[in-house]
Amino acid sequence: IKWTEGRGWHDAQLVPYAPLSLDPANMTLHYAQEIFEGLKAYRGPDGSVATFRPEANAERFRKSARRLAMPELPVETFIAACDALVQQDKAWVPAHGGEASLYLRPFMIATEVGLGVKPANEYLFIVIASPAGAYFPGGVKPVSVWLSENYVRAVPGGMGFAKTGGNYAASLLAQAEAAEKGCDQVVWLDALEHKWVEEMGGMNLYFVYGSASNEKPVIVTPELTGSLLAGITRDSLLTVAKDLGFESAEGRISTEDWKRDTENGTLTEVFACGTAAVITPVGSVKSAGADWTQGDGTPGEVTMKLRKALLDIQTGAAEDTHGWMHRLG
């Protein structure tokens, strides 16, 4: 679908996958007006196909567009485009029963040609799809994380809440630093004090206080300060936790809280969440000052209960009591 200044959205087309041809002076290549989304289509037990909360992706896409001075695509158009592609590629949606899905990647770029920093006056919105296997084919495996103090992902007033390519480019060196330290993932801290936990490389974080067997667990996730991405999985888990009889809250967690509460046994589990892996347990933490194991380093009980509950809704194994599945028939 194209957008042109003075004309709005026009010329929606469903075409075979093919390379794009771009002018070397295409404005996106120089000034990075680019935003994207990620969501999954699953096949239910009756063979029908549904996407998970596409309106939430559509709303976040509008917010990202606003921050990058791009035109806002109507929610209905975003969903209709995803639906049209899934209908076309329905045979690629994996069978019901596992965690496999058809991953959708909607994105928008500027198409105006010209050098000079200003919002472009022509854009292109595209959705592509790719089958995605189970994230953990051999069973859920905890990740090790590196608390990044040398780099920041986003600053107050910046673009942290937007899903734009530049944020990911900014994260590559920190991710390489995490790998050098022997860790799987980077955890971002706030830009000003380097102490408040924000999110993981491509996932939000949750802290589990209490345990499933002894006391009512409370799951706490860093509040949306504007410099982290408002994950749709994060938002869904605030509700799923309550379905399971846990409490959920948004708050501020510092690296000192994280270490101290792990050591005194009140913080029992930590996990990351996002569309790709749904939930990934955090098994160990490393930072410049200290290293520790999270719990006993294995996936926690609360973490795994939440993972199953949300995945069951997404894959159609459990009833969709919140109206989150968008059915395509």
Does the footprint of ligand PMP cover residue 101 (CB under 6 A)? no
Per CB under 6 A, the list member of 83, 89, 184, 199 interacting with ligand PMP is 199
Taking only Cα atoms into account, the Rg of the chain, rounded to an integer number of angstroms, comes to 20
Distance CA 91, CA 47 (A): 11
Does the footprint of ligand PMP cover residue 35 (CB under 6 A)? no
- Map tokens 């058809």 to a residue: 102
Which helix (H) or strand (E) segment holds residue 49: the answer is: strand 49-52
Does the footprint of ligand PMP cover residue 34 (CB under 6 A)? no
Query: Helix count (H) and strand count (E) of the chain?
Result: 8, 17
Q: Nearest distance from residue 143's CB to ligand PMP, in Å?
A: 14
Q: Residues 224 to 263: which contact ligand PMP by CB under 6 A?
A: 229, 231-234
Alpha-helix residue ranges (DSSP H) falling in the chain: 27-31, 54-67, 75-88, 165-169, 172-180, 232-243, 255-263, 301-314
Nearer to ligand PMP, 35 or 109 (CB): 35
Q: Count Cα atoms within 13 angstroms, Cβ side, for 55.
A: 7
3-state class (DSSP) for residue 169: helix
Binding residues for ligand PMP, rule CB under 6 A, total: 12
Does the footprint of ligand PMP cover residue 145 (CB under 6 A)? no
Per CB under 6 A, the list member of 33, 204, 248, 280 interacting with ligand PMP is 204
Does the footprint of ligand PMP cover residue 202 (CB under 6 A)? yes
Q: Nearest distance from residue 234's CB to ligand PMP, in Å?
A: 6
Q: How far is CA 99 from CA 112, 167, 247, in A?
A: 40, 28, 26
Q: Residues 162 to 191: which contact ligand PMP by CB under 6 A?
A: none
Nearer to ligand PMP, 100 or 203 (CB): 203
Per CB under 6 A, the list member of 145, 203, 302, 306 interacting with ligand PMP is 203
Does the footprint of ligand PMP cover residue 106 (CB under 6 A)? no
3-state class (DSSP) for residue 265: coil
- Map tokens 């709303």 to a residue: 59
Nearer to ligand PMP, 201 or 217 (CB): 201
Q: Nearest distance from residue 278's CB to ligand PMP, in Å?
A: 9
Q: Nearest distance from residue 187's CB to ligand PMP, in Å?
A: 11
- Residue sitting closest to ligand PMP (CB): 231
Query: What is the identity of the amino acid at 275?
Result: T
Distance CA 228, CA 163 (A): 10
Residue 279 CB coordination number (10 Å): 24
Nearer to ligand PMP, 201 or 210 (CB): 201
| Interface contacts to ligand PMP, rule CB under 6 A | 38, 199, 202-204, 229, 231-234, 274-275
